[in-house]
Structure 1
C-alpha cells in the first residue's frame, strides 16, 4: 500500500513539472510573450544567446510571486522577442539581503 501511495505522489510531481509550457520568445511579439505568461502563470522561455553564438539560454518566467517557491521574490528580467531586443518579464529569485543592509561608513573625526 505504501509503495502505491509513493508511486502516485511521484507521478503527481512529475505531471506538475511537465505542465509548464515552453516557448521561443524570438518567434513572438513582446506583447504576446507577456500575454502568454499572464495567461499561464509560469512558462519556460528558451532562446539563443546574443553574446555567445550557439549557446541556448532558458529560464522560468512568472506572472507574480504566487508562482515562485517559498523564500523567492519576483524580479524583473528581460528576454529578446520578435519585435524588441529587451522585453520586460519577471523571474523568481532569492532576495539579496546584502543589497538592503549595506555596511554603514562612519566619517573620521
Structure 2
C-alpha cells in the first residue's frame, strides 16, 4: 500500500522553518496567531487590492472584524509555509476558502 503526500519528518521540518520565519519577523518567539494584530499588519501589510477584496467579501458575507483578522492571520501563515515574504493573493483566497469549511 502506497501513501501519498509528505512524510511526518518533512512536514515537521516545514513547520519548524515556518515558525523560525515568524520568530525572525517579530524578533521574539511568537507566531502569527498570537502576535497583536497591529504588529502583524506592520510586519505584513496588505496591498490596497487585498484590503479592498477583503472589505467586499466582509460586507457580502457579513463577517465580523474578528473573522477578517482570523483570515489575515491564516493567510500570513499560509504565505509563511510557502516561504513568501509578503501575504499573497493566493494565500488570502485559500484562507477564505478554509474559513468557509
Question: Normalising by structure 2, what TM-score?
Answer: 0.27
Larger relative strand fraction: 1
Question: Normalising by structure 1, what TM-score?
Answer: 0.26
Higher Cα radius of gyration: 1
Larger relative helix fraction: 2
